[in-house]
Amino acid sequence: MSRTTRLTASEALVETLVAHGVNTAFGIAGSAYMDAMDLFPLAGIRLVSVTHEQNAAHMADGYSRVTNRHGVCIAQNGPGVTNFVTAIAAAYWAHSPVVAITPEAGSTTAGLGGFQETDQMPIFSKITRYQVHVNSPARIAELTHRALTIALDERGPVQINIPRDYFYGELETTIPSPQTTERSAGGSESLDRAAELLASARRPVVLAGGGLVMGDGVDAARRLAEHLSCPVVTSYLHNDAFPASHELACGPLGYQGSKAAMRLIAKADVVLALGSRLGPFGTLPQHGIDYWPTTAEVIQVDADTRMLGLVKPIALGICGDAGRAAEAIRVRLVEASGGAPARDEHRIAEIASEKAAWSAELAALTTPSQPGRISPRAALAELAKAMPTDAMVSTDIGNVCSTANAYLAFEQPRSFLAAMSWGNCGYAFPAAIGAKVGRPDRPAVAYVGEGAWGMSLAETMTCVREQIPVVAVVFDNQQWGAEKRNQLDFFDGRAVATNLDNPDFAAIGRAMGADGILVEEVDQIGTALRSAVASGRPTVLTLRLNQELAEPFRRDAFKPKPTRLLDKYRSLSG
Ligand SMILES: Cc1ncc(C[n+]2csc(CCOP(=O)(O)OP(=O)(O)O)c2C)c(N)n1
Ligand SMILES: [Mg+2]
């Protein structure tokens, strides 16, 4: 519809969403936008009705990550909208094009302190790429289009704030067609320089980041790495940015990452970072290895200029699409060398031997399980073995979930969804639900610690009501383990508020209408996961674990002993 038409404001909003290909939204019904909601079924928009708006926004995030399209969430003004906040922050740091439609208290009573009234713009100001307050119903199509365009172009959440009364009224408007801007590889001089640096490098390493996944650039990165015969490491929590079974794949950096990746990047003379902001947490020393190669020349490619050289010093920054840049550099290398060079068998053998050493070391870290109490690493290894290759896996924040970084390997992009830098407990289950709605043809599995499960388990009802067969693997270790680990290491083991006495979560799942399976023995994990995935039913798969805990998440953040100055606390100074 590109000509001017007479329609209502609600119709203009909904038609603009439809014009941009939106067919799914996540939220809870609200009077504030009921006039628009009423149109959804005939507009072809499925409103997935959830139990908490935070989870609606996480679902929109998961949906957007696996489909590479907008993930839309909508809520009642005031408390429904403020419930979005945590998840919008998570989407911001994950660069997910989430569209938060936030109806606001009516314009004619704004400022009077009425029902469910607050200024909703400042709340999201630091966690969105773009916000717009619809200041007249006549502009609803234009401003919605603008927000939808920016969400994809700048890869991040946007907010469309609409006073409740602006859903009403008749207007003459044009529904804008979606506008897409082709990304480029970057400046040609910079690409020439990158090719020169790589051509003269003796030990180049490619660092594959989330930008490759978002821009469909993984194949281009593979071709370039094959040309260079160089190791490829993936950035923290982007294990799906390079096919794990490839001979050049070394695994992920970051917490519980691959020592093979760390040892190889530590020796690099040139690092080509493709689509990574080289975030501070993801590049911290791990396993006692301070692996970041401070003397290497770093070439960083990112679609956002502001990321270039922000965290790590770089020799060359390229503002461009990571995959296209990889391809443009490869073409230059081929031209310069007159064809593809021979495989560097020596480097390929070195990669194979580092990987073999790390997998042997990883296997040796697994401790034996006790009857009825499974060792966490054994559980993670069994799950990874039984995971279907096309699965989409989301992981929460917690000691066991974060240790999964060492075990989860993927063959295709858009398979791994983690809470990323926002690091919020309660992310994984709703994200997997959104992913399953976006890609019903692929299995969706969420890894969740039982503490975090308490924050998200009510969405089991959403899975049942809306027939979304996600498998939630709940690691029940009777503790807020990641925080308990800090207490063990830095607070003499004083377990303040970290022990959990849990109900039977599988039984709770069954009470909500899902399947519920409790697994207490390690050799039953594989069968349980496979049959849960095959059942096509929402399933809560609880694994009863022992209390063993991996390395603390933030060893960098604590002093060895706490300082206490008042007499009454002196006994706590260790
Ligand atoms: C929303 C939120 N609240 C609190 C935290 C702090 N936190 C980080 S990990 C963690 C413990 C998670 O426990 P659980 O989910 O049981 O997993 P486990 O560590 O036991 O494997 C907590 C409370 C957080 N990251 N996010
Ligand atoms: Mg726990």
- Which-ligand-closest: CA of 397? 1
H or E stretch including 503? none
Ligand 1 environment, Cβ below 6 A: 397-401, 423-426, 449-452, 475, 477, 479-483
- Separation between Cα atoms, residue 89 and residue 357, nearest integer Å: 38
Q: Helix, strand, coil proportions of the chain in percent (round to 5)? A: 45, 20, 40
- Separation between Cα atoms, residue 284 and residue 288, nearest integer Å: 10
Say which amino acid occupies 526.
G
The CA-atom distances, in angstroms, between 52 and each of 342, 428, 458, 468 are: 56, 14, 8, 16
- Which-ligand-closest: CA of 484? 1
How many Å lie between the centroid of ligand 1 and the Cα of residue 343? 45
Q: Say which residue the tokens 């922050």 belong to.
A: 89
Radius of gyration of the chain (CA): 25
Per residue in 41-73, pLDDT (tens digit) is 999 999 999 999 999 999 999 999 999 999 999
Which is it for the CA torsion 398, 401, 407, 408, positive or negative?
negative
Decide: 175 and 15 in contact? Cβ < 8 Å: yes
**What does 148-182 look like in DSSP terms, one character per residue?**
HHHHHHTTS-EEEEEEGGGG-SEEEE--PPP----
Closest Cα to atom 4, ligand 1: which residue? 425
The pair phi, psi for residue 545, each rounded to 5°, is -105, 160
How many Å lie between the centroid of ligand 2 and the Cα of residue 505? 13
Decide: 456 and 84 in contact? Cβ < 8 Å: no
In this structure, how many other beta carbons lie within 10 angstroms of the beta carbon of residue 109?
Answer: 14
- Separation between Cα atoms, residue 78 and residue 118, nearest integer Å: 6
How many Å lie between the centroid of ligand 1 and the Cα of residue 190? 43
Residues 6+ apart with CB under 8 A from 216: 68, 323, 413
H or E stretch including 195? helix 188-200
pTM for this predicted structure: 0.98
- Separation between Cα atoms, residue 192 and residue 188, nearest integer Å: 6
How many Å lie between the centroid of ligand 2 and the Cα of residue 479? 4
What is the model's pLDDT at position 487?
95
The 3 state secondary structure assigned to 409-431 is CCCCCCCEEECHHHCCCCCHHHH
Counting atoms of ligand 1 from 1, which one is nearest the CA of 426? 1
- Separation between Cα atoms, residue 429 and residue 54, nearest integer Å: 12
- Which-ligand-closest: CA of 480? 1
How many Å lie between the centroid of ligand 2 and the Cα of residue 440? 29
In the predicted model, residues of the chain with pLDDT beneath 50 are 1
What is the model's pLDDT at position 573?
82
